[in-house]
Amino acid sequence: MTKSESDARPDGAYETPLFRNAGDRSLIIEFGDALDPVINNAAIAFNARLREAGIGHVSETAATNRSVLVSFDPLALSPADLRKRLEDLLGEQDWLSAPPPPGRRRWRLPVLYGGDYGPDLAGIAGEAGCGEEDIITGHGATDQRVFMVGFAPGHLYTGLLPEVFALPRLQEIKPSVPPGSVSIAIRQSVVCSTTIPTGWRTIGRTPFRTFDLKRDPAFMIEAGDELRFEPVDEAAYRKFDDVVAAGGLPFEPEVMG
């Protein structure tokens, strides 16, 4: 650990990114200590730069909410040499003001909200003192960036939603929610591709699967991409479900500049 603290700005971003220990085969570069689009974009932009740099003996990298994990073979590349190399790349620009990397894609995700598909929607509307329609409108009001993919294969974390979605996760973990479930908490949405347990509040379901082993490529969406949640009725959901079952996509993605 080069240092454990850095000067943090009011938004939680560090003036200088921090190296964090992650065992003897990985290290973490942390850009801030908050769930924040600027910090997250720094991680995504730096991860894109790392991929481009293609450092030898680095086995994989991954951008997350606020950091980048770099895994490497420490018997072939010394941790000190790797840190030096990473420091050089970090010094190339202020990653907190870096533009998002090119080639990201925007995905339209049809969502059937409420009812059996979104059992927690009514409760959220009740707590907020508004109608379910208002929550649905708020959820799709702005395009949502994929902050990271984690927890399970193709499990997307997106952000940031309006304040009304600043809700804690549930006390009780639901033992399982089906693939395609769209759930919210802490101003983030999560979209799963497999059956998972979750403590997030499920408001709807999409026929889209970002992970499908029967499809090539098996994974579609990555950190930095954007999602546009579009409410659909049951008939439209069924139609898209058939398209997906036949190996298709509800909508072709749009490549962003």
Partner 1 sequence: MATRLEIISCGPSLTVQDRGRPGYLACGVSAGGAMDPRGLAEGRGLLGNSPDCAAIEMVGTGGRFTPSGGAVWVALTGAPFRASICGAPVKWRTAFRLEDGQMLDIGPGLEGNYGYLSVGGGFDIPPVLGSRATQPRAGIGGVDGRSLRAGDRLPVGKSDHLPDSPLILPPADYFSVTRIRILWGAQAHLFPAEERSRFTETRFRISTSMDRMGVRLETDADPIRTDSGLVAISDSVVLGDLQVPGNGRPIALMADRQPTGGYPRIATIISADIPAFAQLRPGTEVLFTAVDEAAALEALRQMTRQVERIRSSARPLIRDPRDIPDLLSYNLIDGVIAGRDIPKPEER
Q: CB-wise, 190 or 232, nearer to partner 1?
A: 190
List CB contacts of 7: < 8 A, sequence separation 6 or more: 14, 15, 16
Question: Given candidates 2, 11, 25, 133, which one binds partner 1 under the rule CB under 8 A?
Answer: 25
Question: Cα(246)–Cα(158) distance, rounded to whole angstroms?
Answer: 27
Pick out residues in 215-244 that bind partner 1 (CB under 8 A). 218-219, 222-223
Phi, psi of 92 (to 5 degrees): -65, -30
For residue 149, the cross-strand partners are: 156
54 near partner 1 (CB under 8 A) = no
Question: Given candidates 6, 8, 57, 79, which one binds partner 1 under the rule CB under 8 A?
Answer: 79
Q: CB-wise, 20 or 106, nearer to partner 1?
A: 20
206 near partner 1 (CB under 8 A) = no
| Nearest in space to 44 (alpha carbons), one of 177, 145, 171, 184 | 145
Question: Given candidates 65, 144, 181, 189, which one binds partner 1 under the rule CB under 8 A?
Answer: 65
Contact 72, 62 (CB under 8 A): no
Q: CB-wise, 59 or 142, nearer to partner 1?
A: 59
Supply the minimum distance, in Å, between the C-beta of residue 33 and partner 1.
7
Question: Cα(169)–Cα(110) distance, rounded to whole angstroms?
Answer: 24
| Nearest in space to 109 (alpha carbons), one of 209, 217, 195 | 209
Question: Cα(168)–Cα(183) distance, rounded to whole angstroms?
Answer: 12
21 near partner 1 (CB under 8 A) = yes
Each residue 178-197 as x (binds partner 1 by CB under 8 A) or -, in order, gives ----------------x---
Question: Given candidates 24, 127, 134, 254, which one binds partner 1 under the rule CB under 8 A?
Answer: 24
Q: Residue type at 192? A: C
Question: Given candidates 11, 22, 133, 234, which one binds partner 1 under the rule CB under 8 A?
Answer: 22
Contact 69, 22 (CB under 8 A): yes
Give contact residues for partner 1 (rule: CB under 8 A). Answer: 1, 4-5, 20-26, 28, 30, 33-35, 47, 59-67, 69, 71, 74-75, 79, 148-155, 157, 194, 211, 213, 218-219, 222-223
